[in-house]
Amino acid sequence: MNENTLIENAILAFLHNYPQHKWANEYEILLKKVKDGEYQTTQTRKRGRSAKRQRTKEAPGNKTGKEKVETTNQEA
């Protein structure tokens, strides 16, 4: 499906639902440009490859969760 067809459909839906809106005239002008082929959708520029973090064997950080903690009961 062509992107211009989707834009045309969206403009027609807007004009159908909001015929008295203050932007209705601008949308009618844009609709005419889309139908005549004057309006071209812009292509977004893609960046290079996506960034990936290096994985390590063990995550750095606090290792207290893995150690066994022993407590002694001292009675006075």
Q: Helix 3-17 and helix 24-36: axis angle, to 10°?
A: 150
CA distance 36 to 34: 6
**Model pLDDT for residues 35-73, shown as the tens digit of each residue:** 888 877 677 777 777 777 777 777 666 666 555 666 676
Instruction: Indicate if the pLDDT at residue 18 is higher than 70.
Output: yes
Q: Out of 7-11, 26-30, 66-70, which region has the weakest mean confidence (pLDDT)?
A: 66-70
Write phi, then psi, for 13 (nearest 5 degrees). -65, -40
What is this structure's pTM? 0.51
